[in-house]
Structure 1
């Protein structure tokens, strides 16, 4: 004789499993440690300062272009 399955519970279990798989995938793709995030911010800041230092006309200049 076949085992009796509650379809509502089976459906909810399947949805839960799919959400867990998606969450794991998102953590792999988007998850970064605090140190990695800080390193990215520092790098962006350094590059911005480097580019601003090489600007011919400053944004705060009163002279028209």
Structure 2
């Protein structure tokens, strides 16, 4: 026979694991300093500008 499982405790344990995973996601997304966010933003803007500068425009393109 299997072990007896307290469903209330199992549910709480499952909720804790889900909350821990969500917290880890948030730490990645929001755990940066303002300077780090600005640096990443500047890199993205520069990459966009570089891509637009190298775009080949034909006679039919606006």
- TM-score normalized by the length of structure 1: 0.48
Work out which of the two has the higher radius of gyration on C-alpha atoms and give 1 or 2.
1
Using the size of structure 2 for normalisation, the TM-score is 0.50
